[in-house]
Amino acid sequence: GAGVSQSPSNKVTEKGKDVELRCDPISGHTALYWYRQSLGQGLEFLIYFQGNSAPDKSGLPSDRFSAERTGGSVSTLTIQRTQQEDSAVYLCASSLWSGYTFGSGTRLTVV
């Protein structure tokens, strides 16, 4: 596609439920990133995928968070047993070189 596509754009979930966030990167971009942006905070790195290499998961805040990238394209970020502190905008980005292109994000609200 023309840009990075994320879905859903908004998600409200009850505390304790699992959620899945989807990212479809720009075609041909080999690198894919997930970041989180909380109110008043900067962008927090979560995970990085590059081709068939092992992902860099060093930014995932707890073992409730996981992500996968299938076929080198679409990625899914899963948060299990959501907590209120998980409320944030989850941004996906892809790149071919070092400049990232961000998707429009998923705003997650845990109530």
Residues that bind other proteins (CB under 8 A): 31, 33, 35, 40-43, 45, 48, 50, 56, 91, 98-105
**Furthest-apart CA pair in the chain: how many Å?**
38
Whether the CA torsion 44, 38, 84, 21 is positive or negative: it is: negative
Nearest distance from C-beta of residue 11 to other proteins, angstroms: 16
Select 38 or 81, whichever has its Cβ closest to other proteins.
38
Q: In the complex, what is the shortest distance from the CB of residue 53 to other proteins, in angstroms, rounded to a whole number?
A: 10
User: For residue 57, what is the DSSP state?
Assistant: -
Rounded to 5°, angle at Cα 26 from 24 and 28: 115
The distance of closest approach from Cβ of residue 17 to other proteins in the complex, given in angstroms and rounded to an integer, is 25
